[in-house]
Structure 1
Amino acid sequence: MKTMTVDQLALADLNFAEMCRGITRNAGGRVLEVDGLLMWSGTHPSPALVNGLIRTRDARPPAGEVFDLADRWFGEVGHGYSVHVRVGKDDDLEAAATERGLERMLDLPVMVFEGPLPDFTVPDGYTIAPVTDAAGVRDVVEAVAVPFELPEEVASVLSRPEAVLTPFTGAVVARDRDGRPVAAAWTMVSHGVAGIGLVGTLEHARGRGLGAAVTWAAMRAGYEMGATSAALQASPMGHPVYVRMGFRDVGSYRIFADMAGH
């Protein structure tokens, strides 16, 4: 396996930004980009996922300008927003978020996988299939809404086929013998990276290897679209699974939320 480099973290940042940009535009939201700052605003005011910002250049724009822009832009529609701080790169942004009293929500390790994909098996009693229509998208959301504790407004956005089934995206869903969705994963390819997200398994189906299986399947879909590596942000539950799969930590995001907007 190749050695991890800072460049791969930068590519993971760009891929995550493309995910936020693409989902928001496809679901009828707004996107603003200014000198390395990306802001996205969905159709609901919640700061959870559907309204947020991230910098893709180090120290640009300065933190004060970032918050001035964000307050005006999100304030136009009365939305709160989340701030995705790249730990070690956005120290000024983190300090400003803390000084402003934004709520620290969570830390997410950024993990990268490189090299060819191994063969993998689907656990007995389950099937994994690509998602190609609206019914499949609903199955994905059904499989991940509870594990992720997705707010209803976020689930409603992700339930739209136009938000998640577009060029250079793909999703897979695992179903049990009765055809019920139990696990799912999604990918978007940009910058040669298959960004993996929405990996979830319903509680009664955990411990069978389904999380890893749907992740491999989503990665395979991404590689078939031209990716040569994969990246994701890991939950505490998923992190040990991804380590066993061969992912490695290359950075982390610290997420703050402006719950009320300014």
Structure 2
Amino acid sequence: MDTRATAVDTSATGEVRGRDDLLVLADLTLAEYLRYLASYGGAIAEEDGLLLFAGAHRQPNPYRNGALRLSGELSPQEVLRRADSFFGTRQSAYALWAREHGDRDLESTAGEVGLHELERLPELMLEQLPDYVAPPEGVEIRPAVDERARNDYLDLVADAWGMASMPREVAAKVFFDPDSLNVPNVAAFVAYYEDMPLSAAMTLVSHKVALGCQAATIRRPKPGQPLPRSGPPGERRGLAQSCLWAALELSYSELGAELSLCQTSGLGAPVWLGLGYRPFTNYARYLVPARPAGAR
């Protein structure tokens, strides 16, 4: 059974979309992103309003190994039973996603069975392309249209998560396959200074929405790596913001986007809020430890 909900009509009308429409789009675009990541070496099971997705690596990255309920068809107990069975055969931990706007019962059950809550992610909305964000002097914003830029993007994400020493072939399984940037509905950009990558951001366009993803900036420069000069006090010149603006501009002008959504961590929030995104719901994630199939 195909559990992908029918997209709501979000044609440009000049009016701010209603919250109910935004909630539908939030679920649709999140689910599409999870399927997109899993399509590179992973696996998907989707039935009765439940999306189960596994990545190519067992590391419980919530975007690579997890369960997302998209409707109320299944009870929380049945959601956990099916997810345990799916991941039990893989001997993998996973993240249980819970929507603030539709999964209160699932959240209650997660607490009752003692699952550890990971960081709760706000869902943000941007109605139109923000003002241009100029990068610092000497910084070049390049589209990730070649192998080097795509690999640099992956390296930046691993570095941002404190995993810079992870071999690239492993990082590709934990975070994303660089080849996944080479699809028509992705806009990805990398910031370089003196030909060395510093930051990156991307969008995945579906349902006329540009979903902001994978914004990352290096934690600290490599020995001897030059950095651009900071701008005047109060001037907004973030590297990730410049990359994201470029991705949004392409999404709106060529890929059919009419608004943008994203989820963000507390660490990444300033990038999105600085461009004008505003929160309207959130997603909880609970870590479910690995257990044998049928153990629950």
In structure 2, the partner of 1:214 is 243
1:34 aligns with 2:47: yes
1:78-227 alignment runs, 5 A limit: 78-149=91-162, 152=166, 155-157=171-173, 158=175, 160-176=177-193, 178-204=194-220, 208-223=237-252, 224-227=254-257
How far apart are the structure 2 equivalents of 1:24 and 1:184? 21
1:233-244, aligned counterparts within 5 Å? 233-244=263-274
Report the alpha carbon displacement of residue 159 of structure 1 after superposing the two structures with TM: 5.4
Give the stretch that moved more between structures: 88-97 or 151-160.
151-160
Whether the 8 Å contact between 1:187 and 1:194 is mirrored in structure 2 is yes
CA distance in 1, matches of 2:146, 2:274: 32
Corresponding position: 1:258 with 2:288: yes
CA–CA distance in 2 between the matches of 1:159 and 1:115? 27
| Structure 1: stretches of 5+ with no match in the other structure | none
More helix by share: 1
* Aligned residue in 2 for 1:246: 276
Match of 1:229 in 2: 259
Contact 1:6 1:250 in 2 (8 A): no
Structure 1 CA distance for aligned equivalents of residues 250 and 278 of structure 2 = 20
Whether contact under 8 Å (2:37, 2:55) holds in the other structure is no
Q: 1:241 to 1:46 in 2, by over 3 A?
A: closer
SS at match of 1:221: helix
In structure 2, distance between residues paired with 1:257 and 1:136: 33
Closer, same or farther: CA 154–68 of 1 in aligned 2, 3 Å:
farther
The runs of 5 or more residues in structure 2 that have no matched partner are 1-14, 221-226, 231-236
Q: Which amino acid aligns with 2:69?
A: R
Alpha-carbon distance between aligned partners in 1 of 2:163 and 2:118, rounded to the nearest angstrom: 14
2:25 to 11, 15, 23: 11
Deviates more, 1:248-257 or 1:39-48: 39-48
> 1:53 aligned to 2:67?
yes
Deviates more, 1:149-158 or 1:84-93: 149-158
Aligned residue identity for 1:175? Y
RMSD: 2.2
8 Å CA contact 1:138–1:159 kept in 2: the answer is no
CA distance in 1, matches of 2:188, 2:51: 25
SS at match of 2:267: coil
Aligned partners of 1:15, 1:210: CA distance in 2, in Å? Answer: 25
- SS of match in other structure, 1:32: strand
Cα distance in 2 for residues equivalent to 1:186 and 1:225 = 13
1:41 offset after TM fit, Å? 0.7
Greater strand share, 1 or 2? 1
CA distance in 2, matches of 1:68, 1:242: 36
Which residue of the partner structure matches residue 23 of structure 1? 37
CA distance in 2: counterparts of 1:198 and 1:154, whole angstroms: 17
Whole-angstrom CA distance in 1 between matches of 2:215 and 2:114? 31
Larger radius of gyration: 2
Q: Report the number of matched residues.
A: 259
Partner deviation per Cα, 1:102-156 (whole Å, 9 max, x = no partner): 2211111110101244333222120101101222111111222222335948722
Conserved? CA contact 1:137–1:159, under 8 Å: no
CA distance in 1, matches of 2:55, 2:274: 35
Structure-1 separation of matches of 2:176 and 2:80:
31
TM-score by length of 1: 0.90
